[in-house]
Each structure stands twice: as C-alpha cells, then as structure tokens.
Amino acid sequence: MYPAAPGRWPVRWPGSGSRRPGVGSSGSSMPGTSESRVSAARGRRRGAPASPTSGVCRHTTNQRVKEEKQASLERRRNLLRAMLQKEQEQLEAELREVVPDRATLASQLVQKAEELRTARDERRKKLAQELLREHWKKNNPELREVESALHKDHVVSQWQEQISEKTQHEVAEQEEKRRFETEYERTRKEALERIRQVEEKRKAEEHKRGEDLFKQMEELKLREEEATRLKKEQEALLVQQWELENLEEERRKVEERRKKSEMGYFLIRQYRAQLKRRAQQVQEELEADRKILSALLEGEHEDRRMESTRRERAVADAAWMKQVIEEQLQLEQEREAEFDILHREEAQRVWEKREAEWEKERKARERLMHEVLVGRQQQLEQKVQKNREAQEELLMRREELIQELELEKDIRRQEKDSEEGRRTARTQELNAQVEQQRQEHWEEQCQKEQDEERDRKALRIQEEDLRLEMLRIAKKGYQEKVHSRPRSAWT
C-alpha cells in the first residue's frame, strides 16, 4: 500500500488486502528466485544430466526471462501509479464541488434570493393582468352580448348535434334492426336447410329401409308360398305312397286269390276250364300290373319338371314293363282262344307246360315289379325327405325374416322417437335463441330510450337554467365587481 500524498485520499485495492498485485509485503518482488526454483525442480524431475553448453543456454534464457518480467512489472507499476494519480485528482475535484468555500456559498445564496424575488414579482404581475382582463371581460356589455350569443349558438348547435345524433342513432337502430332481421332470417333459413337435408337423408334412409323391408316381406311371402307348395307336394307324395301301398296290397290279394283258385281247380282237374280260368287270372294279373304301371307313369309325368337320370330310367323301365305286359296279355288272349280246341290229354300237357311258363313269367314279373315299386318307393321317400328338409329350412328362414322385421320395426320406432326428440330440441333451441335475441334487442332499445330521455331531460334543465340566468342578469343589470387583492405565498 502506497503512502497517501498530502491532501489526497488513500486507496485500497479491493479483494487484495493491503497489497497491490505483483508487489510483496516489502514493496518488491523476487521473480528470479522463484524462476530458479522452478527451473531446478523441472531439472530434477527430468533427471537428465546437464551439459556445460546446455547450462549456459539455460542461464541465458533464464536471465532474459527475468529481465522481461522485470520490465513488465515496471510497466504495470507505472500504469497503476498513473491510474491512482488520476483517481486522486477526480476525488479532489468532487470534494471541491461538494464543499465550496464561503465566498462562493454567499454569492450563490444572493443569486438564489434574487431569482426568487424576480419570479415572485413576475407571478404577481401576471396574476394582476389576468384579474384585470377577467374583470374587463365580465363587465364589458358587448363581450357579454357576444358571449351570450355564442352560448346561444352553442346551445343551438348542441341541440342540432343532438338531433343529428338522434337521427343517426335512429338510422343506426334501423340498420341494426334490419341486420338483426337479416341475420335472424339467414339463421332461420340455414336451420331450415339443415333440417330439410336431415329430413331428406332420413327419408332416403327410410325409403331404402322400406325397399329392404319390402324385399324381405316379398321373400317371406315367397317362402310361405314355397312352404305351402312343399306341404301340398308332401301331401301328394303321401297320397302317391298310399296309392302305391294300396296297389301292392291289391297285387298281394290277387296273388292270394290266384293261389286259392289254383288249388281249387287243381282238385277239380278240369283242365280246360282251368286253363281258361288260369288264362283269365293271368290276364287279370297282367291287367292289374298294367294299371299299376299306368299309374306310375302318370305320376312320373306329373314330376317331369324335377326329372333326373334315375327317374328317367325308372320311367323307361315302367314303360317297358307295360309294353311287355300288354304283349303278354295279348298272347294270353290268343292262348285262351286255343284252349277250346284242346283234348284232355293235350290239355293236361299244355296245362303243365303253360303252368311252368306262367310261373316263370310270373316270377320275372314279380322281380321286375318289385324293382319298379322299390325304385318308386325310394324316389317317394327321397322326395318326402327333401320336402321335409326344405320345409325346415323355410321355417328357419321365415323365423329369421320375422326376427329381422321385428328388429327393423324396433329400430324405426327408436329412430322415430330419437328424431322427434332431436326435432323438439332443435325447435326449442331455435325458439330460445330467437327469444334471447329479442330480449337483448328489447333491453338495448330500452337502454337507448332511457339514455335519450336522460339527455333530453338534461338539455331541458340546461336550457331552463340558461333562460333563468339570462332573466336574472337582465333584471339585475350591470354591477361593478370588487376584487380582493390576491394573497401571495411569499408574503
């Protein structure tokens, strides 16, 4: 820390105690000693042997570094000394300004008092001029007339402005009303358009659902007609099956009668009559088989629209059997005619021969008729089974269609209720909006009317006050006013 010069303030370096940077407690630094210690320490850490040449170079380098550091230190000291000197001078100047001497202070006080006296006189003079001018303005009749005329013109202009503002206000109200009505009409049309679009969409959906429902009803009707047809077909098949069973029963009865009559004729041993009767029996059997086959052919022709390969084969077999039986029936009729000319021995021989042929033919017919009847029975059973399956499928589909129709009815009822609720809600919302807008418009109109009435009332009061004041002034006449002397804050 440097000793303070006479008349100067001592300076301390902040954050450094009482020492300056780069200066020891004794006022000097020892860079050479520290550098030598650092160099020696570095040499010891390296552990390399030092040659005489390297020692000389190192000594020269260290000396140059020391000189440079010493020069840098001197420059910093000079710079700091100059900065301290400048700062000391600034502080002395500030002290002289803050604490002036007595002569300067006295002159400043005199100057300040003179300035205050001059300002007070100026204010008094200005106030007196203003008071005189105000007195002249108030007591001059011409100025009063001009002022009254100006006031009247002002009142008239204000009245005209109020009328103009009222007219503009009414025009603005009409414009606002038209705008409100236009906005309301536009909102109403948009709402109606949205409702119309929603209604059209709903009608289109209902129309589509109606078409689907009509198709489902038509399908249900067709299914019911198909079920009725299948029931009738089933009844017809059952009738055919019953007729077929009756035909088989009839053939069985004919066969039993034949056997019984054959046994009786065998006992009687009347060959000729027996041959004739046997021929008649064979003819009856053939005729019965022909009727059965005719009935089968008629049944097959009725089912021609549902023909199959197997059915065609069965029809062909039945037709062939009918033709064979007709041919055999004709042959038996010819044989019966031959029996009348036969003798007893020849009749017995022919009987035995014919009986063997008849038995052979009968077995063949039995086999063929059995095949035909079994095939027809199988066809009938297949038809009955298919008919039953078709009826079950129709019944299931009918139940599904009925459930779909019930579900569609429920959906339409729910949609109708929902649409009715939405329509009611929209109507209520629109009514509420319209009512709110009307209420707001009415309140705004009432507020405007109240404001206008208040303005008119204030204007009437102002005009009445002006009229009364003018009457009072005219009645009182001119009176000179005495103004008191204004007080000053400095006296």
- Least confidently predicted of 311-315, 398-402, 428-432: 311-315
76/207 same-domain check: no
pLDDT of residue 14: 39
Domain assignment present for 81? yes
Residue 220: pLDDT above 50? yes
Mean pLDDT of the 75-79 span: 90
Domain assignment present for 23? no
Above pLDDT 90, what percent of the chain? 1
Residue 51: pLDDT above 70? no
Residue 410: pLDDT above 70? yes
Residue 33: pLDDT above 80? no
Per-position DSSP letters for 322-337, written without gaps between them = HHHHHHHHHHHHHHHH
- Residue with the two structure tokens 């009512």: 435
pLDDT of residue 20: 42
92/217 same-domain check: no
291/417 same-domain check: yes
User: Rounded distance, CA 440 to CA 466, Å?
Assistant: 39
Domain assignment present for 466? no
- Range among 197-206, 256-265, 322-331, 472-481 rated most confident: 197-206
pLDDT grade for 345, boundaries at 50, 70 and 90? low
- Least confidently predicted of 49-58, 126-135, 272-281, 403-412: 49-58
Query: Where in the sequence is the domain holding 63, given as residue range(s)?
Result: 31-42+53-98
Count of other CB atoms within 10 angstroms of residue 278: 23
Mean pLDDT of the 305-330 span: 66
Domain termination residue (choose one: 98, 114, 130): 98
Total number of residues shown for the chain = 491
Domain termination residue (choose one: 415, 437, 459): 437
- Range among 5-19, 42-56, 265-279, 341-355 rated most confident: 341-355
Query: Is the CA virtual torsion 144, 148, 149, 153 positive or negative?
Result: positive
Mean pLDDT of the 175-195 span: 83
Domain assignment present for 84? yes
C-alpha dihedral, 111 to 112 to 115 to 120, nearest 10°: -140
Domain assignment present for 64? yes
| DSSP-assigned letter for residue 340 | T
Domain assignment present for 74? yes
Residue 126 is encoded by which pair of tokens? 């200005």
pLDDT of residue 26: 39
Domain assignment present for 268? yes
User: Rounded distance, CA 412 to CA 419, Å?
Assistant: 10
pLDDT of residue 375: 77
**Do residues 372 and 244 lie in contact, with contact meaning Cβ atoms separated by under 8 Å?**
no
pLDDT of residue 29: 40
User: Rounded distance, CA 93 to CA 164, Å?
Assistant: 72
**Do residues 225 and 431 lie in contact, with contact meaning Cβ atoms separated by under 8 Å?**
no
Distances (CA, A) of 225 to 222, 281, 395, 425: 5, 48, 12, 47
pLDDT of residue 17: 41
Burial of 358 (0-12, 13-18, 19+ CB in 10 A): buried
pLDDT grade for 16, boundaries at 50, 70 and 90? very low
Mean pLDDT of the 358-371 span: 78
Domain assignment present for 134? no
Query: Is the CA virtual torsion 350, 354, 357, 363 positive or negative?
Result: negative
Compare 224 and 31 and report the one with higher pLDDT.
224
Mean pLDDT of the 21-42 span: 43
Residue 32: pLDDT above 50? no
- Least confidently predicted of 14-28, 94-108, 310-324, 412-426: 14-28
| DSSP-assigned letter for residue 304 | G
pLDDT grade for 94, boundaries at 50, 70 and 90? confident
Distances (CA, A) of 295 to 243, 247, 334, 446: 9, 10, 26, 104
Residue 480 is encoded by which pair of tokens? 């000179």
Residue 25: pLDDT above 50? no
- Least confidently predicted of 147-161, 265-279, 426-440: 265-279
User: Rounded distance, CA 391 to CA 226, Å?
Assistant: 8
The contacts found for 308-314 with CB under 8 angstroms, 24 or more apart, are 310/375, 310/379, 311/379, 314/372, 314/375, 314/376, 314/379
pLDDT of residue 55: 56
> Can you say how many angstroms the Cα of residue 5 is from the centroid of all Cα atoms in its chain?
90
- Least confidently predicted of 183-187, 283-287, 443-447: 283-287
- Least confidently predicted of 112-121, 424-433, 476-485: 476-485
User: Rounded distance, CA 79 to CA 22, Å?
Assistant: 13
Domain termination residue (choose one: 417, 437, 457): 437
Backbone angles phi, psi at 49, to 5 degrees: -70, 135
Residue 67: pLDDT above 70? yes
Count of other CB atoms within 10 angstroms of residue 100: 12
Residue 281: pLDDT above 70? yes
Compare 70 and 372 and report the one with higher pLDDT.
70
Residue 48: pLDDT above 50? no
Count of other CB atoms within 10 angstroms of residue 391: 16
User: Rounded distance, CA 164 to CA 171, Å?
Assistant: 10
Distances (CA, A) of 336 to 10, 283, 304, 333, 340: 178, 10, 39, 5, 7
pLDDT of residue 394: 80
- Least confidently predicted of 79-83, 196-200, 282-286: 282-286
pLDDT of residue 78: 92
pLDDT grade for 480, boundaries at 50, 70 and 90? low
Structural domain tally of the chain?
2
243/377 same-domain check: yes
pLDDT of residue 333: 72
Residue 10: pLDDT above 60? no
